[in-house]
Amino acid sequence: MAQTLEALARRTASMEGIRSVVHTMKTLSVINAAPYEHAASAIAAYHDTVLEGLHAFASQSGPIPLASSDDAAQVMVVFGSDHGLCGNYNEALAEHVAMQITGKTTVLCVGAQMADALADQGVDAGKALFPPASVDGVGRLANLLTQKLDTLREDSRAHEVSVSLAYFARREAGMQAPEIVALLPLDRSMMTDLQAKPWVSRSLPYFSMPPDDLFMALIRSHIFASLFRASAEALVTENAARLALMQQAEQSVDDRLEALKSDTRAMRQSEITTELLDVIIGFEALKKDRRIGQAD
């Protein structure tokens, strides 16, 4: 009995330790997600400013010729996770990406685990980039990806690339789903809306830079902001997936702890009952011996 109770006590202590770790991971997921949410909101405001710059440029330069994606080199940037404890985050996105890729596509992958998940789907991602470890790293990654896209464009025979971004995005009611967003060429409907939108100001916009240089600078800022937002959004959803998994694990641990405590209570009750029975049996034996002695 004592050994069984000791074993239950050890298992209970072990589960309580696991619960402490799970609770800590759950708390860290909530804490870590907040800075990335703020970063995503901040870059959205910056992106709006860039789009307003494109609006000002279009209002003065007239229609902007947009490249066609038919002969452009196909590039897809996939944002994964290397931090673990987030379920099938990488595998689900890799499966979605594999279904969307058609023809020869250059894949720029963020995260070694995502590269492995893509390889399992038959997609060669080459050398993976390191995912950000902090909010500061999001800007570093966006700059690095922007430079790589510039290099791919220069190496392209037509000097045009068609770029898509693949990442997990937030949905309503705390849900998330894999999403593939076209980055380049510029969305024709967006540019048409900017060109048709009237310039509401008493002063017309003015710029001194050569039009081509200004347009390329605005496009580069648009690319950087889009990459930054996709990276931040991926980190938010990664922590959300980890939080959901840790909540499930915590519930499972709590259920197991309750079962262990119930077994411990039952074992103690059984031990107490056995000891009481031993006392009663001993008492009855003494009474019987006393009656026999009195009879003699």
Chain segment 221-241, per-residue pLDDT in tens: 999 999 999 999 999 999 988
The pTM of this model reads 0.81
Measured CA to CA, the distance from residue 201 to residue 206 in angstroms comes to: 12
Beta bridge partners of 277: none
Chain segment 40-65, per-residue pLDDT in tens: 899 999 999 998 888 888 887 766 76
Measured CA to CA, the distance from residue 243 to residue 176 in angstroms comes to: 13
Q: For the chain, what is the total number of helices (H) and then of strands (E)? A: 6, 4
pLDDT at 293: 65
pLDDT interval class at 158 (50, 70, 90): low
Residue 2 has pLDDT above 60, yes or no: no
How much is the average pLDDT of 241-262? 89
Residue 261 has pLDDT above 70, yes or no: yes
pLDDT interval class at 1 (50, 70, 90): very low
Measured CA to CA, the distance from residue 37 to residue 41 in angstroms comes to: 6
pLDDT interval class at 109 (50, 70, 90): very high
- The structure tokens listed for 114 are 């995502």
CA angle 70, 72, 73 (to 5 degrees): 130
Give the rounded percent of residues in the chain with a pLDDT score beyond 70.
93
pLDDT at 194: 79
Q: Which residue has the higher pLDDT, 136 or 271?
A: 136
pLDDT at 208: 83
Least confident of 63-72, 127-136, 274-283: 63-72
Q: Which residue has the higher pLDDT, 111 or 279?
A: 111
Residue 10 has pLDDT above 70, yes or no: yes
Read off the amino acid at residue 71.
D
Residue 130 has pLDDT above 50, yes or no: yes
Q: 264-282 as b/e, with b when 16 or more CB fall inside 10 Å?
A: beeeeeeeeeeeeeeeeee
- The class that CATH gives domain 23-247 is alpha beta
271 CA to centre of own chain: 50
pLDDT at 289: 67
How much is the average pLDDT of 165-185? 88
